[in-house]
Amino acid sequence: MSNDRYHTVGKSILRRGAKERLTGNPIFCADMEPENALYLKAVRSRHPHAGILGIDVSSAMSVPGVVQVFTAKDIPGKNLMGIINKDQPLLAEDKVRSLADPVALVAARTPGAADLAAAAVSVDYDPLPAVFDPEEAMAQDAPQIHAKGNVMVQKKVCRGDVTAAFDKAHTIIEKTYRTSAIEHTYLEPDAGIGFPDEDGTLVIYASTQNPHYDHKEVVSLLGVEDHAVRIIQAATGGGFGSKLDMNVQGFIGLALYHLKQPVRYVYTREEAFLATAKRHPFVIHMKTGADETGRITAMQMKAVCNTGAYGSYGIAVASRAAVHATGPYAIDNVNLECTAVYTNHPFCGAMRGFGTPQMALAHESQMDLHARALNMDPLEIRVLNGVKKGTVTATGQVLTDSVGFQDCLTAVQPEYEKAMKGWLSEPTPAYIRRGVGIGGMWYGIGNTGVQNPSTARVAMDREGQVTLFTGCADIGQGSTTVLSQIAGEALGLDAMDIHVVVADTKYTTNAGATSASRQTYISGNAVKQAADKLADVLLTEAVNYLKIRKSDLRLENGRVFDSRHPEKQVAFSRLAPRILDKGGELSWQGYFDPETVPLHPDTGEGIPYSTYAFACHAACVEVDVLTGETSVCRVIAAHDVGKAIHPENVIGQICGGVAMGVGFALMEEFVPGETISMNDYHIPTAADMPCVIPIIVEASEPSGPFGAKGVGEPALIPTAPAIINAVTHALGKRIYALPASLERVLDASIASGHFNNCYQES
């Protein structure tokens, strides 16, 4: 859709908050130092699995500067947290389940005193056998992490007759894939501050992706009324899923509750690495069958993912993994199962894609294996199998609108062919082999088959000034800018002319989590609905004022005018008092919940999402066959986002997603006990980045605000499989475990004979 018909939608306007960030304003929690703030420090477990026989805080209390040391018995409310299943105590009671488990919390006048006291807390542990491998944890005699058993959840999606389809299949491919635990490595370590305000409300500023969830949890931990706690999202330096969990908020709440004086807690990088969620490592067994034309007729998938000591978002990860296992392909017969298992690994939670990036490695590798078996081009086999309007998905959902996968394939095709024909055959040094690979993906927008509404309020004051109130946490992706564009479009205002009140539980209503690529679509709709209601009130009053029928009226630049005679107009500032004086309403609430149907527990049948994003990446790589070094030269990234409300933000997400995908593919692996800090965990730098060519595809979503869907997670998902397929293309040998580190690539180079050939020649 042309952007000309829009006032602000589709334009890359100035991003809200950019100037403050460029000039170093104190907007992050670590920048805020309330007067006389106490410093908090958690004492964490020394064992991955142990009973707690006793905790002695007397030495810690005698450290000069210590104000209080809290243990679980000081928690006045319910000592359990978790967004989906509540299984994680704020402070351990009878046992610890991972090295990250907090057992006590120190409040002290200086950071040094807090550290000394934390070291002086004496815990009497009774070490228990620990288990770290999820498949081992499923054994009958495995150590039990939680009383209800180690299998946290098993999600299934079944459709058609898999056995019959495999019997008839021309080609069957069966492989096992493994992915690593990943640390989010947002640049801002978790942080928060708190203070009691003049009414006694416990005010907490936090680096968070979901202030309303934090609020609910802190209220529950403290056993207080809703109004006793106020959470305000401070500027948040990235999240990628990890700041959906309670990191420092509960500690701050507990200390504030007892001490009634300002406190702050800023994680060191080491603590952020130790104590916050990781991406679930997966083991995926995938079997697919194809007919002689290359059409995939059956898929059987069994995955086990390691959720570590606690559930966090693990149930969502398992369910999304099962639902997304087919990738963006029409497969009539499926038997898909993902099991999330407790272990003594640090807990795993949400990370950009919730299991979908792991699944994409498997389904995209299978696609290439089938293409190779049938001597087909990788792009051709994806076109043949790719979903279209009318495709029935594994859950039985018919895709009716905004199905832009084929458009994404078409969009990458010219660059892909150029690379296959031209670039591949260019001369290179003997030790360099080039490869080109494709990765496809689909991603359901919002939570899987469950309600996940958003609300918003758009209000006009007597002077005609509009304010948008949204609970949506902007964590750097730019949602505040996008939501003000949506409100602005509905009201004919420049987005920057709208005041915004964001992510403050006192003044904004729940917008749900900034996760699942849901805020543009779901909160965008809530904002649009509220703004449309306000617009309608203004139009109605303007009919009275101008004596012109509503259908001829338009809103623009803070006024209502006659579209046929633009000189006939009235300013919002004139309409607002007229409306108020008549008892009219200028403050409107919007609500949107995507239409979904819960998935059947046995078959997975249902409508998990009301819309999906699609994408295809093509990666061009150079592999040094003597060292195993892989250099990603170019990534062409086509994304169907429905409508790019702010194209520059969309491109920012795509380029950032590609970077995270490069890390997932080639370098990142969190190893508990070994990965301590950023020194041990390398993420891509500017020098590692390929040239990225983002292509925005807009298959308009009828239920989206101005047609928009989402892009945050989709941006990352196809990159790693595209790179792995490219490395395979270069070496003629496939890598089945991520990351494709130097060692793994070198092994593949040796196994394929390229190492020897090159070594002997040189």
Partner 1 sequence: MQTIDITLTVNDQQQTLPVKSNDTLLEVIRDYLDLTGSKEGCGEGVCGSCTVLLDGHPVRACLTLALEADGCAVTTVEGLADEDTLSPLQQSFIDHGAVQCGFCTPGMLISAKALLDENPSPDRQKLRQALSGNICRCTGYAKIVDAVAHAARPESGCPDCHTKDSGGDHD
426 interacts with partner 1 by CB under 8 A: yes
Rg of the Cα atoms in the chain: 27
In contact, 268 and 372? CB cutoff 8 Å: no
Burial class (CB in 10 A: 0-12, 13-18, 19+), 436: buried
Give the nearer residue to partner 1 in terms of CB position, either 67 or 266.
Answer: 266
**Least CB distance to partner 1 at residue 675 (A):** 13
Give the nearer residue to partner 1 in terms of CB position, either 236 or 752.
Answer: 236
Among 2, 4, 5, 24, binds partner 1 (CB under 8 A): 24
Helix, strand, or coil here: 72?
helix
Give the nearer residue to partner 1 in terms of CB position, either 464 or 657.
Answer: 657
**Least CB distance to partner 1 at residue 682 (A):** 9
Q: Name which of residues 400 to 419 contact partner 1 (CB under 8 A).
A: 418-419
In contact, 53 and 124? CB cutoff 8 Å: yes
Give the closest residue to 111 by CA, choosing from 195, 33, 203, 207.
33
Interior angle at CA 592, CA 589 and CA 593, nearest 5: 145
269 interacts with partner 1 by CB under 8 A: yes
Phi-psi region of 157 (alpha: psi -120 to 50; beta: other; left: phi over 0): beta
Q: Name which of residues 208 to 267 contact partner 1 (CB under 8 A).
A: 235-238, 240
Q: Name which of residues 653 to 682 contact partner 1 (CB under 8 A).
A: 654-660, 677-679
**Least CB distance to partner 1 at residue 717 (A):** 14
**Least CB distance to partner 1 at residue 689 (A):** 5
Question: What number of chain residues touch partner 1 (CB under 8 A)?
Answer: 68
Give the nearer residue to partner 1 in terms of CB position, either 325 or 411.
Answer: 411
11 interacts with partner 1 by CB under 8 A: no
Interior angle at CA 519, CA 517 and CA 520, nearest 5: 95
| Cα–Cα distance list, 635 to 323, 438, 688, 698 (Å) | 27, 10, 12, 20
595 interacts with partner 1 by CB under 8 A: no
427 interacts with partner 1 by CB under 8 A: no
Distance CA 73, CA 466 (A): 47
In 608-702, alpha helices (H): 647-666
Distance CA 722, CA 741 (A): 16
278 interacts with partner 1 by CB under 8 A: no
In contact, 233 and 29? CB cutoff 8 Å: no
21 interacts with partner 1 by CB under 8 A: yes
Amino acid, single-letter form, for residue 46:
R
Site stretch for partner 1 (CB under 8 A), options 80-88, 355-363, 531-539, 644-652: 644-652
629 interacts with partner 1 by CB under 8 A: no
Among 692, 695, 699, 711, binds partner 1 (CB under 8 A): 692
**Least CB distance to partner 1 at residue 646 (A):** 9
Give the nearer residue to partner 1 in terms of CB position, either 188 or 669.
Answer: 188
**Least CB distance to partner 1 at residue 686 (A):** 4
Distance CA 35, CA 91 (A): 27
Distance CA 206, CA 186 (A): 15
- Other C-beta atoms closer than 10 Å to the C-beta of 691 total 10
Among 373, 626, 689, 750, binds partner 1 (CB under 8 A): 689
Among 375, 567, 583, 686, binds partner 1 (CB under 8 A): 686
Give the nearer residue to partner 1 in terms of CB position, either 600 or 634.
Answer: 634
200 interacts with partner 1 by CB under 8 A: no
Burial class (CB in 10 A: 0-12, 13-18, 19+), 573: middle
The secondary structure element, H or E, covering residue 141 is none
Given 3-state DSSP classes, what are the helix, strand and coil percentages for the chain, each rounded to the nearest 5? 30, 25, 40
Among 1, 3, 26, 164, binds partner 1 (CB under 8 A): 26
Q: How many Cα atoms occupy the beta-carbon half-sphere of 198 within 13 Å?
A: 0
Q: Name which of residues 320 to 379 contact partner 1 (CB under 8 A).
A: none
Among 383, 597, 693, 742, binds partner 1 (CB under 8 A): 693
User: Residue 755 gets which letter from DSSP?
Assistant: H
Summarize as ranges the residues that interact with partner 1 (CB under 8 A). Answer: 12, 14-15, 17-26, 28, 30-31, 33, 184-189, 235-238, 240, 268-269, 418-419, 422-423, 426, 475-478, 620, 633-634, 648-649, 651-652, 654-660, 677-679, 683-694
